[in-house]
Structure 1
Amino acid sequence: MNIISTTLLALAMSTDAFAAAIGKGATLKSPKLSEALRTGLIFGVIEATTPLIGWAIGRGAAQYIAAWDHWIAFTLLVILGIHMIYTGLKDTESVEEKPNHHTFIVLAITAFATSIDAMAVGVGLAFIDVNITVTAAAIGLATFTMVTIGFMLGKVLGIMVGKRAEIFGGVILIGIGSYILYEHLYVLV
């Protein structure tokens, strides 16, 4: 793969993480750059790791991951999205403070759910002549950058949607999960 192909692949792999980061940024009280960088780092590391895992799996069991990757991503994202919507709907009468940051586990689960497609790509890359380390690093760097930017964009959207930001973020995650499932099922038709 040449540098243009690697760059385009890296950007494509970071788009769903970018959308999820917008939702995450929108749900915070006052997102700061340090929190955006932390979120970008968590997403970037996970997004860079999953193609490596997929590549290793691709050497032996590609058909098993490819058959279920879209369902795993869909399920995780919908569960997280429903939880966010539920949180956004409960206690709407009380003025509950928005959190200052998201927990590591919430960010890691969201990052993993949005990186399932990168794992599937890693499986596919196992069958072609590619430097998987360089490709995974490019995917991680693109994701870090896009998530950091998306998180800060979420700050602006959070102000616009006010106390319904959690619902907005949940809808984004469900939309991403549904799109991943649709994209896979549409390809099969």
Structure 2
Amino acid sequence: MIVFVFNSILLGVGLAMDAFSVSLANGLKEPQMRKVKMIKTAGVFGVFQTGMPLIGWLCVHTIASYFTAFQKAIPWIALILLGYIGGSMLKEGISGEVEEIDDTILDKKTLFIQGIATSIDALSVGFTIASYTWYSALISTVIIGVTTFVICMAGLKLGKIFGLKLADRATIFGGIILIFIGLEIFISNVFM
């Protein structure tokens, strides 16, 4: 149980790094953001990071359950997807090409688009948690969402204070975490 919670938190941390970077930028660009708006903003990121892995899990169990050979490919898919996403994040962070955010004050439409953009990679996590029961997948995705919420609140607060200086490091850190989680899933499912 402790390993399950720890892995879910690590997945949440790794997946939340894009949202953290965006939250830093949002905090910088709207330094007078009220606490209620901060909670709603972090909440949107948390909801998307909860929903996307759950959608991925549902896809695996509704479509892939008909293909037993596909089940054996899941660790490979997790390794490839998380490695690719993590590698892309590393490349972005090292090259300094983190996505720029529009200079306008954050509105609902922009926040919705940011929520989708920062959580689309979380859809692949549904493949990585495919061996979980429905209840375990739900608990794991809620932990991921809560972790994202907390990280995004910190990002908004830090963004208001420090700005974008931390954004590249957050992307690098998130990339490393996702790569290690992909390796852990692959090794524990293929070699053990």
| TM score, norm. by length of structure 1 | 0.63
Cα distance change on mapping 1:156 and 1:4 into 2, 3 Å: same
TM-fit CA distance, 1:155: 0.5
Q: Which amino acid aligns with 1:103?
A: D
Cross-structure match for 1:137:
142
- Alpha-carbon distance, 1:113 to partner: 2.8
> What is the RMSD of the two structures over their aligned residues, measured on CA atoms?
3.9
Equivalent residue letter for 1:24: N
Q: For this pair of structures, how many residues does the alignment match?
A: 162
The 8 Å contact of residues 85 and 121 in structure 2, kept in 1 or not, is answered as: no
* 1:112 counterpart residue number: 116
1:68–1:52 CA distance, 2 compared to 1 (3 A): same
Contact 1:40-1:145 at 8 Å conserved across structures: yes
Deviations 1:38-94 (A, max 9, x none): 11110011010011111012232787x86667778969xx8x95553xx5xxxxxxx
Partner amino acid for 1:115? S
Cα 1:134–1:56 shift into 2, 3 Å: same
Structure-1 residue corresponding to 2:126? 122
How do 1:66-85 and structure 2 match up within 5 A?
Answer: 81-84=98-101
TM-score by length of 2: 0.62
Maintained 8 Å contact 2:12/2:143: no
CA distance in structure 1 between the partners assigned to 2:11 and 2:149 by the alignment = 13
Distance (whole Å) between structure 1 residues aligned to residue 100 and residue 151 of structure 2: 24
Aligned to 1:20: 22
* CA distance, structure 1, for counterparts of residue 121 and residue 8 of structure 2: 11
Structure 2 Cα separation of the partners of residues 4 and 71 of structure 1 = 24
Q: Where does residue 9 of structure 2 map in the other structure?
A: 10
Q: How do 1:30-109 and structure 2 match up within 5 A?
A: 30-59=32-61, 60=64, 81-84=98-101, 99=104, 101-109=105-113
Matches within 5 A, 1:139-178: 139-158=144-163, 168=164, 172=167, 176=171
Identity of aligned residues (%): 25
Displaced runs of 4 or more, over 3 A: 65-75, 80-83
- AA partner of residue 104 (structure 1): K
The 3-state SS of whatever aligns with 1:131 is helix
Per-residue Cα deviation, 1:21-52 (whole angstroms, up to 9, x for no partner): 12221121412212210111100110100111
CA contact (8 A) 1:48 1:139 kept: yes
